Amino acid sequence: MLSRLKQSLAKKLGLGSRKEHAPAARPAVRIIPRGEHGLSRSNISESALKVLYRLHKAGYEAYLVGGGVRDMLLGREPKDFDISTNATPEEVKALFRNCILIGRRFRLAHVRYGSEVIEVATFRAHHEAGEEGEGVMENGMILRDNVYGTLEDDAWRRDFTINALYYNIADFSVVDHTGGMDDIKAGRLRMIGDPPSRYREDPVRMLRAVRFAGKLGFRIDEASEQAIQELAALLEEVPSARLFDESLKLFLSGYAVETYELLRHYRLFGQLFPETEKWLRYEEQHYPRTFVARALDNTDKRLQDGKTVTPAFLFAALLWEPARKEAERLRQKGEGGLQAMQQAGDTVVARQVKRVAFPKRFTLQSREIWEMQERLTATGGRRPFRLLEHPRFRAAYDFLLLRAESGEDVAELAGWWTRFIEADEAGRQELSSGPRSGGGSGSGKKRRSRGGRRGKPRQTTPAES
C-alpha cells in the first residue's frame, strides 16, 4: 500500500522511476553498417574528425551525435557537429590544449579550431530525485545533470529519437538504440520515453519539438503532441533569459512561418508573447495576424537570401500590435503622438521582458523603430532629410512598408517615403515643400511630431532591417 502511494505521489510530481523515461520493452540496439546508411566523412568538418580520431586513438569511445547525424541522413547540410564520448570533461581537456570546460547544469568540453567550436559531451544517464551524485531535480525539472553513464544510457536520456543516432568513428556505422532511423524514414518526431515526464524535466523540450517539426516538416507523434497541449503552462517556470535564446532559434532559423503556426496550434505562442496572442485571438482582428505572418515570411526570405536579420526588428514586429493599441489608448487620453508611442513602448517592453528577456540593446532599437513610425509622418521642411540620417531609418522605413503591405492605413505615407528615397536632391526638395502626407500610426490624424531634435544631424551608422 505504501509503495503504491509513493508511486502515485511521484507520478503527480513528474519524478517517476527510470522506467518512466523509456518504453517497458526497449527495442534491440540496431547497428547500421557503413554501406547501408549513406553518411560520409566527406560531409563532416575536418575539426570534428580531428576530435573524433584523437579520442579514438586515446582509447575512448567517440561518436558524432545529434543534429549533425540527423541532417546528413536527411540530405541536409549540418550546422554543427556534436560529439559524445565516455571520456570525462577533464579527460577531454587533457587531450586538447585548445579546450575549455563550460556549464554547470550540463558540464561540456568545447574544443576550438579557429572560429569553429566542437562540443564534446560525456555519456550521461538518467537520475532519480534525491539520488546521490551531481544530478539535481526540483518538481520534476532537471536543474543540474552531470550523471555519467554508458552509450545506451546516453541514447535513452536524449529528447527525440531522431536526435539519438550515433555515428561511430571506429567502424563508420550508425548506432540506433531508440528507433530513430525508422522515425526519420517516416517523417515522425517522437519523444524518447514518457512525454509528460520528459517535458516536466525540461519544458523547453516542447519548444524544441515545435522547432524541429517546423524545420524538418515532420509530424509530432500523438503521445508527444498530447502532452504538449496538456503541459504548455510549464513554460512559465522557465527563466526568461533562456526563453530569449529559444525564441531566436524558433524565429531565426529560416522556418519562422511554419514554426509560428505550430506554436499557435499548440498554444505555446501565448506562453512567449502573451500580449500579442491576446490581440491575435480576436476573429475580427485580421490585421495583426497578417502583419505578424508577413514579418516572419520576410524574415525567412532574408535568411534564405543570406541577408542579416536583427532580433530588434523581429521583436518590434511581434509586439507591434500591443504597442500600437497602447499608443492609441494614450492618444485618446490626450497624449501627443510621439509621446504616446514612447510611453506605449516602455509599457509593452516592461511587460514582455518578464516572459522573454530580450536584452536592452535590442529593446532600445525596437522602441526606436516604433517611435520612428511617428517621426516618419513629418514629411515637410528639413525633417525628412534629418530622418534619412537616423541610424534606425532603414529599419523604420522597412517597418512602415510592412505595415502598408499588411493593410494598415499608411500606404500613402509609405509611398511618399519611397519616392523621397529614390528622388535626387531637387526632387526631394520638391517633395518636402509640397502638401504633407497623413497616415501617422493608425490614429487617422495629421499631427506635428513632438519631441523631435533640432540642430546638428545625428551620425549615420549602417542599419539592419
pLDDT per position as a tens digit, 237-289: 999 999 999 999 999 999 999 999 999 999 999 999 999 999 988 755 688 89
Q: Which residues of 123-142 are buried (b: 16+ CB within 10 A; e: fewer)?
A: bbbbbebeeeeebbbeebbb
pLDDT at 25: 65
pLDDT at 6: 37
Residue 100 to residues 97, 119, 134, 144, 435, Cα–Cα distance (Å)? 8, 10, 20, 19, 63
- CATH at 240: 1.10.110
pLDDT per position as a tens digit, 200-216: 999 999 999 999 999 99
- The three grid cell numbers given for residue 283, joined into one nine-digit string: 476573429
Instruction: Yes or no: say if 69 and 167 are a contact pair by the CB < 8 Å rule.
Output: yes
Residue from 133, 105, 106 nearest 121 by CA? 106
Dihedral Cα 100, 104, 108, 113, nearest 10 deg: -30
Whether residue 63 is predicted with pLDDT greater than 90 in this model: the reply is yes
Write down the catalytic residue from 82, 194, 202, 398: 82
pLDDT at 38: 84
Dihedral Cα 106, 315, 279, 266, nearest 10 deg: -30
284: DSSP letter: T
| Residue 77 belongs to a domain | yes
- The three grid cell numbers given for residue 59, joined into one nine-digit string: 582509447
Which residue range(s) make up the domain with 320?
273-433
Q: What is the pTM of this model?
A: 0.80
Among 158, 181, 199, residue at a domain's last position: 199
CA 110, CA 100: separation in Å to the nearest integer?
Answer: 5
pLDDT band for 7, please (50, 70, 90 cuts). very low
Among 272, 294, 318, residue at a domain's last position: 272
Instruction: Yes or no: say if 195 and 230 are a contact pair by the CB < 8 Å rule.
Output: no
- Let me know whether 159 and 15 are in one domain: yes
- Let me know whether 343 and 382 are in one domain: yes
Q: What three-state secondary structure class fits 174? A: strand
| Residue 21 belongs to a domain | yes
pLDDT per position as a tens digit, 98-140: 999 998 767 899 999 999 999 999 999 875 533 444 444 455 5
Examine the residue annotation and report whether 297 is marked as an active-site residue of this protein. no
| Residue 459 belongs to a domain | no
Write down the catalytic residue from 80, 153, 182, 409: 80
Which of 38-42, 149-153, 164-168, 417-421 is predicted least confidently? Answer: 38-42
- Let me know whether 65 and 162 are in one domain: yes
pLDDT at 337: 87
Examine the residue annotation and report whether 82 is marked as an active-site residue of this protein. yes
- Let me know whether 142 and 10 are in one domain: yes
Instruction: Yes or no: say if 369 and 316 are a contact pair by the CB < 8 Å rule.
Output: yes
Task: Give Cβ neighbours of residue 441 (< 8 Å, ≥ 6 apart).
Answer: 324, 327, 337, 341, 373, 374, 377, 410
- The three grid cell numbers given for residue 270, joined into one nine-digit string: 501565448
pLDDT per position as a tens digit, 345-397: 999 999 999 999 999 999 999 999 999 999 999 999 999 999 999 999 999 99
Among 247, 272, 297, residue at a domain's last position: 272
Instruction: Yes or no: say if 391 and 403 are a contact pair by the CB < 8 Å rule.
Output: no
Q: Which residues of 250-261 are buried (b: 16+ CB within 10 A; e: fewer)?
A: bbbbbbbbbbbe
pLDDT at 455: 38
Place of cell 512525454: 195
pLDDT at 146: 64
Rounded to 5, what percent of the chain is helix, strand, coil?
Answer: 55, 10, 35
- Let me know whether 91 and 173 are in one domain: yes
- Let me know whether 210 and 170 are in one domain: no
Instruction: Yes or no: say if 96 and 54 are a contact pair by the CB < 8 Å rule.
Output: yes
Q: Name the burial class of residue 104, with classes exposed (0-12), middle (13-18) and buried (19+) by CB atoms within 10 angstroms of its CB.
A: exposed
| Residue 312 belongs to a domain | yes
Mean pLDDT estimate for the chain:
85
- Let me know whether 267 and 374 are in one domain: no
Into how many domains does the chain fold? Answer: 3
| Residue 453 belongs to a domain | no
| Residue 107 belongs to a domain | yes
Whether residue 20 is predicted with pLDDT greater than 90 in this model: the reply is no
| Residue 184 belongs to a domain | yes
- CATH at 407: 1.10.3090.10
CA 248, CA 359: separation in Å to the nearest integer?
Answer: 12
Scanning 74-173, the segments in alpha helix (DSSP H) are 89-95, 151-157
Instruction: Yes or no: say if 210 and 257 are a contact pair by the CB < 8 Å rule.
Output: no
Write down the catalytic residue from 71, 145, 154, 159: 159
| Residue 450 belongs to a domain | no
pLDDT at 256: 96
Examine the residue annotation and report whether 80 is marked as an active-site residue of this protein. yes
Whether residue 465 is predicted with pLDDT greater than 90 in this model: the reply is no
User: Would strands 188-189 and 174-176 be described as parallel, antiparallel, or unpaired?
Assistant: unpaired
